[in-house]
Structure 1
Amino acid sequence: MSFGRLTHALCAFVLVQLAGCASFEFAKPMPAQTQVVGVRVSGEELSGWSDLPIGVYRVPESQVIISGHQKGQAAGMLFGLVGVAIAHAANASAGADAVRDAEKQLHIHLNEPLKASINGLLSSGAFGAKFAADSAAGPRLQLTPALVLSFVNDSDVRPYVIIRTSLVGTDGKSQWNTRYIASTGESHALLGTGGWLENDASLLKATVQRNLDLATRALASDVSRPAPRDDNRMHVVQTHYPFVKPKFQSPGYLLAEDDATLTFVPRIGDIIVFAGVNVLDKKAVTVRPKEKDEPMMTKPVEEPKK
């Protein structure tokens, strides 16, 4: 068996083993609130314990994370667990090598653009009457953004905006968590003609802003008017997700659709680093209704070699 086939088989095996004991809180809508909920940007980073797989590389002085370059980790890439220190260090170094010529242009921060997007949606009424700018009293939605540049092959990268979202009660305890993730457009190399960083990274900046707006609009809609997660009307989607190089096939809930995007919640355990609400480019997915007796299984898709 080739290494690629072994990796796919191991990923599938681990996912199946976890299915029986997994929690699916990230797939659920936010609990209804009786008080007005404040919305704030946390200023924190994604957690290396729960939000990131082994061997990612954090670009210094930024909110940019490089992934998909990891080798030899198999299923470990899927989970937000601290791995073996030596393997993690080696993989992080590989990530740094992959972007060493581009790092200065990757000093990207999303806190202020996210605040602007959220404030605009609050002002327009997109959040509804139960949400407001952050205040000291009442529960709050705490938002932590990041930009993940995920390799989909040895040269091309796909950007994902991720907004880690936590509902914190008046007692300071977390009551609900999920992620809002958006990725649209094509994959490109980082450098060179047509690359993400050509012309002072103009293509990357425009794509990141578009994905940030899509993620925040999905967030506003989902917390104020949550679409049903109906186990009797599930779909199966094949697409690329952040952090991992291969495509994955997942059953889940189709929340919304327009001419360009699907909003999809894979029914996967919270431990998986792409669990949450995903806004996907329709050109980059295949989708179909889930068959009644089809297994509830997320698995990598082995694409034909070109």
Structure 2
Amino acid sequence: MKRIFILALVASAPALMAQTAAPQGPAGAAPASSPATTAIVFSEKGANGLGDLPMGVHRIPDSNVVISGHQGGIGALFGPIGMLVQSSINAEAGTGKVRNVEDDLRFDVRAKAIEMTNTIMAGDQFRTAFTLTPQPGGRTMTVTPYVVLTFVKKTEDVRPYIVLKTKVAIGDDSGKAIKYFCCEGKALPLAGLTENNGARLKELLTAELDTAINVMLLDRSQPFTRSDEAKVATNGLLPFVGKPLKWRGFTLGRYKDYDLIEFRGGMMVFSGVNIVEPGALEITPVVKK
């Protein structure tokens, strides 16, 4: 069963070639400044079904929101939203009023990311490193934002994740992809997240997006030190995965009180920089034997 579970998270062969590990540097190396201003462009494409998502996810139509964690059994056929809507139909039969849960889960993550990046760029910290106006032949960072709502197994609780997939291109070089994942707070009941037109969900995603954008801009302007000696063992809930998983990664240090854990390699859909709030994962240094 473990082998089947892992395979379900592995991206397809074409995606393995496209998705690469984040740049690495020697232990203790100082962050290197970007040699030129980088233009930021936000993509409308959303998550790539071949390389960014595991099998069996449910996409909310006309949005960049996907649902995972439910795969297996009937959930893989209909998804939790389909079952929830059917449950609403059964409960409210005869009233003629079936709540459209999918509408409450929609979040225009691209529009919000553009708005928040404009606000952050108005300050001094990243003004010289980035611009929102692309220049012919210049450095361009394409950012693909999307949302992953991960159901926790055997519950109706959900962990909402913001994902920012980035690539910095220079001329004909399309660059390497680095993803940034952020989830804040404990898993919450789906019913609570969808109340009042999804007000609580939108509040959570907005806060996570602010954190993810700041970490992305920091790393893409002055890359965090990446050391093969900084290996850690983690245990807990990860993006797309509905139950605790043990996995090894590398610590990149901290952002405020968040741990920054990078899972390397393009095979797993949660590969990238995971922004981990205190207590969200068990993190243990790996000691060489």
Q: Does TM, normalized by the shorter one, top 0.5? A: yes
Give structure 1 regions of 4+ aligned residues with deviation exceeding 4 angstroms.
Answer: 21-24, 29-33
In the TM superposition, what are the counterparts of 1:245-260 in structure 2 within 5 Å? 245-257=242-254, 260=257
Is 2:55 the partner of 1:27?
no
The residue type equivalent to 1:165 in the other structure is: T
- For 2:215, the equivalent position in structure 1 comes to 218
Return closer, same or farther for 1:256/1:206 CA change in 2, 3 Å cut-off: farther
Structure 1: state its 5+ residue gaps. 1-5, 73-88, 294-306
- For 1:91, the equivalent position in structure 2 comes to 76
Confirm or deny: 8 A CA contact 1:56 1:92 kept in the other structure.
Answer: no
Measure the CA separation in 2 of the matches of 1:244 and 1:135.
36
Confirm or deny: 8 A CA contact 1:179 1:277 kept in the other structure.
Answer: yes
Confirm or deny: 8 A CA contact 2:19 2:177 kept in the other structure.
Answer: no
Return closer, same or farther for 1:98/1:160 CA change in 2, 3 Å cut-off: farther
Return closer, same or farther for 1:95/1:32 CA change in 2, 3 Å cut-off: farther
SS at match of 2:104: helix
Is 2:178 the partner of 1:182?
no
The residue type equivalent to 1:25 in the other structure is: T
Return closer, same or farther for 1:217/1:237 CA change in 2, 3 Å cut-off: same
**Alpha-carbon deviation of 1:33?**
4.9
Measure the CA separation in 2 of the matches of 1:69 and 1:285.
21
The residue type equivalent to 1:28 in the other structure is: P
Return closer, same or farther for 1:125/1:271 CA change in 2, 3 Å cut-off: farther
**Alpha-carbon deviation of 1:280?**
1.4
Confirm or deny: 8 A CA contact 2:103 2:197 kept in the other structure.
Answer: no
- For 1:289, the equivalent position in structure 2 comes to 285
**Alpha-carbon deviation of 1:90?**
7.7
Return closer, same or farther for 1:98/1:277 CA change in 2, 3 Å cut-off: farther
Return closer, same or farther for 1:9/1:56 CA change in 2, 3 Å cut-off: closer
Is 2:117 the partner of 1:118?
yes
Measure the CA separation in 1 of the matches of 2:247 and 2:132.
35
**Alpha-carbon deviation of 1:95?**
4.1
SS at match of 2:208: helix
The residue type equivalent to 2:47 in the other structure is: L
Return closer, same or farther for 1:115/1:177 CA change in 2, 3 Å cut-off: same
- For 1:304, the equivalent position in structure 2 comes to none
* Percent of paired sites with the same residue: 26
The residue type equivalent to 1:277 in the other structure is: V
**Alpha-carbon deviation of 1:253?**
2.0
Is 2:202 the partner of 1:205?
yes
The residue type equivalent to 2:246 in the other structure is: Q
- For 1:264, the equivalent position in structure 2 comes to 261
The residue type equivalent to 2:114 in the other structure is: K
Return closer, same or farther for 1:95/1:68 CA change in 2, 3 Å cut-off: same
**Alpha-carbon deviation of 1:32?**
6.8
- For 1:233, the equivalent position in structure 2 comes to 230
- For 1:168, the equivalent position in structure 2 comes to 169
The residue type equivalent to 1:181 in the other structure is: F
**Alpha-carbon deviation of 1:46?**
1.0
**Alpha-carbon deviation of 1:175?**
1.2
Task: Between 248-257 and 54-63, report the one with greater CA deviation.
Answer: 248-257
- For 1:78, the equivalent position in structure 2 comes to none
SS at match of 1:197: helix
Measure the CA separation in 1 of the matches of 2:72 and 2:225.
38
Return closer, same or farther for 1:43/1:250 CA change in 2, 3 Å cut-off: same
Return closer, same or farther for 1:7/1:250 CA change in 2, 3 Å cut-off: closer
TM-score (structure 1 length as normaliser): 0.76
Confirm or deny: 8 A CA contact 1:151 1:158 kept in the other structure.
Answer: yes
**Alpha-carbon deviation of 1:231?**
1.2
Confirm or deny: 8 A CA contact 1:66 1:148 kept in the other structure.
Answer: yes
TM-score (structure 2 length as normaliser): 0.81
Confirm or deny: 8 A CA contact 1:56 1:95 kept in the other structure.
Answer: no
The residue type equivalent to 1:97 in the other structure is: G
**Alpha-carbon deviation of 1:159?**
0.2
**Alpha-carbon deviation of 1:31?**
9.1
**Alpha-carbon deviation of 1:10?**
6.0
**Alpha-carbon deviation of 1:99?**
4.9
**Alpha-carbon deviation of 1:207?**
0.6
Confirm or deny: 8 A CA contact 1:57 1:92 kept in the other structure.
Answer: no
Return closer, same or farther for 1:62/1:35 CA change in 2, 3 Å cut-off: same
SS at match of 2:238: coil
Confirm or deny: 8 A CA contact 1:53 1:243 kept in the other structure.
Answer: yes
**Alpha-carbon deviation of 1:41?**
0.6
Structure 2: state its 5+ residue gaps. 25-30, 86-99
Return closer, same or farther for 1:90/1:282 CA change in 2, 3 Å cut-off: closer
